[in-house]
Amino acid sequence: MSDVTGTVVGLVERVTELPDISAESRFHNLANWTSLSALRLLTDIEDEFGVQLDLRSYLAVNDVGQLSDLVSTALGDR
């Protein structure tokens, strides 16, 4: 697991208050996953990595691994 994926997993666990998140975890299968928890995660990720994500690309992401890829791309673009 890359550093970025590890950090993203930690942030998802923090926002959802669920243990055992992995790169394969699909957001829509998580308990209590709402658009507001999605936005909370978005701002936490942007805060943590110092990047700004395109909201459209972010909302299109299905699982934690894809989100990690999106963050890595944003980090590479800086």
* Residues making contact with other proteins (CB under 8 A): 14, 17, 35-36, 39-40, 42-44, 47, 55
User: Which CB sits closer to other proteins, 65 or 67?
Assistant: 67
Beta bridge partners of 38: none
Query: For residue 37, which phi and psi values (nearest 5 degrees)?
Result: -65, -35
Report how far residue 52's alpha carbon sits from residue 45's, in angstroms, rounded to the nearest whole number: 9
Q: In this complex, which beta carbon is closest to other proteins, that of residue 15 or of residue 65?
A: 15
Q: How far is the CB of 57 from other proteins (least distance, A)?
A: 12
Nearer to other proteins, 49 or 65 (CB): 49
Angle in degrees, CA 69, 60, 62, rounded to 5? 65
